[in-house]
Structure 1
Amino acid sequence: MIYERKAWAMNGFVGIVIIAILLAGTVLGLINEQFILGGICLIIAIVLGSGITLVQPNQAVVVIFLGKYMGTVRREGIVVTIPFSMRRTISLRVRNFNSKRLKVNDVNGNPIEIAAVVVFKVIDAAKAVFDVDQYEEFVEIQSETAIRAVATKYPYDTFENAELTLRGNPEEVSNELTAELQERLKVAGVEVIEARLTHLAYSTEIAQAMLQRQQASAIVAARKQIVDGAVGMAQGAIKQIEKNGMVELDDERRVAMINNLLVSIVSDSGTQPVVNTGSLYQ
Structure 2
Amino acid sequence: MSTTTSTSSESEPGGGPEEPQVRPAARVIQNEATTEIPVHLLFRDDPDCSPVPLRPAVVNRRQGTGEQPRTRPPVPVKARSVAQVDPELVERPARVLPASAGVLAGLCGAAGCVAVSWWAGLLPPVATGALGLPVSGAGLGPAQWAAYAGAGALGLFGFGGLARGRTGRAWVLGLFGRYRGTVRRTGLMWVNPLQLRRRVDVRLRHWRSEPMPAGDASGVALRVVVLVVWRVRDTARAVLGVEDHESYLRECVEAALARVPVELPGGARGSVSAAGETLTRLVSADAAAVGLEVFSVQPVRIEYAPEVAAAMHRRRIAALDAQQRSSMLSSVVDSVEDTVTRLTMRGLVELDDYERKVLVRDLTVAFCSGRTGDTAH
TM-score by length of 2: 0.55
Q: Give the CA RMSD over aligned residues.
A: 4.0
Query: For the pair shown, which has the larger CA radius of gyration, 1 or 2?
Result: 2
Identity, % of aligned pairs? 24
Counterpart check, 1:189 vs 2:300: no
Counterpart check, 1:203 vs 2:313: no
Alignment equivalent of 2:108, drawn from 17, 22, 30:
22
8 Å Cα contact 2:109/2:155 also seen in 1: yes
Counterpart check, 1:149 vs 2:249: no
Letter in 1 for 2:279: L
Where structure 1 has 5 or more consecutive residues not aligned to the other structure, the ranges are 271-282
- CA drift at 1:75: 1.9
Counterparts in 2 of 1:17 and 1:52: CA distance versus 1, 3 Å: closer
Give the distance between the partners of 1:236 and 1:63, measured in 2 at CA: 83
Letter in 2 for 1:71: G
- CA drift at 1:164: 5.4
Counterpart check, 1:113 vs 2:217: no
Counterpart check, 1:224 vs 2:320: no
- CA drift at 1:242: 6.3
Alignment equivalent of 1:85, drawn from 195, 209, 214:
195
Between structures 1 and 2, the one with greater strand share: 1
8 Å Cα contact 2:233/2:293 also seen in 1: yes
8 Å Cα contact 2:106/2:158 also seen in 1: no
8 Å Cα contact 1:117/1:196 also seen in 2: yes
2:95 aligns to what?
8
Counterparts in 2 of 1:249 and 1:81: CA distance versus 1, 3 Å: farther
Where structure 2 has 5 or more consecutive residues not aligned to the other structure, the ranges are 1-86, 121-142
2:165 aligns to what?
55
8 Å Cα contact 1:3/1:124 also seen in 2: yes
Counterparts in 2 of 1:245 and 1:86: CA distance versus 1, 3 Å: same
1:280 aligns to what?
none
- CA drift at 1:73: 1.0
Matched residue count = 261
Counterpart check, 1:74 vs 2:176: no
More displaced stretch, 108-117 vs 190-199? 190-199
In structure 1, the residue corresponding to 2:307 is in which secondary structure?
A: coil
1:274 aligns to what?
none
Letter in 2 for 1:140: R
8 Å Cα contact 1:29/1:38 also seen in 2: no
- CA drift at 1:205: 3.1
Letter in 2 for 1:7: A
8 Å Cα contact 2:227/2:299 also seen in 1: yes
- CA drift at 1:207: 2.5
Counterparts in 2 of 1:24 and 1:164: CA distance versus 1, 3 Å: closer
More displaced stretch, 133-142 vs 2-11? 2-11
More displaced stretch, 28-37 vs 233-242? 28-37
Letter in 2 for 1:10: L
More displaced stretch, 113-122 vs 38-47? 38-47
- CA drift at 1:128: 0.7
8 Å Cα contact 1:120/1:193 also seen in 2: yes
- CA drift at 1:129: 1.3
Q: In the TM superposition, what are the counterparts of 1:134-173 in structure 2 within 5 Å?
A: 134-150=244-260, 153-156=261-264, 161-162=267-268, 169=272, 171-173=273-275
Give the distance between the partners of 2:114 and 2:308, measured in 1 at CA: 85
Give the distance between the partners of 1:208 and 1:38, measured in 2 at CA: 79
2:238 aligns to what?
128
Counterparts in 2 of 1:184 and 1:254: CA distance versus 1, 3 Å: farther
8 Å Cα contact 2:228/2:294 also seen in 1: yes
Counterparts in 2 of 1:234 and 1:154: CA distance versus 1, 3 Å: farther
Between structures 1 and 2, the one with greater helix share: 1
Counterparts in 2 of 1:24 and 1:110: CA distance versus 1, 3 Å: closer
Counterparts in 2 of 1:105 and 1:21: CA distance versus 1, 3 Å: closer
In structure 1, the residue corresponding to 2:255 is in which secondary structure?
A: helix
Counterparts in 2 of 1:49 and 1:224: CA distance versus 1, 3 Å: same
Give the distance between the partners of 1:258 and 1:162, measured in 2 at CA: 38
Counterparts in 2 of 1:199 and 1:22: CA distance versus 1, 3 Å: same
Give the distance between the partners of 1:259 and 1:101, measured in 2 at CA: 53
Give the distance between the partners of 1:254 and 1:210, measured in 2 at CA: 44
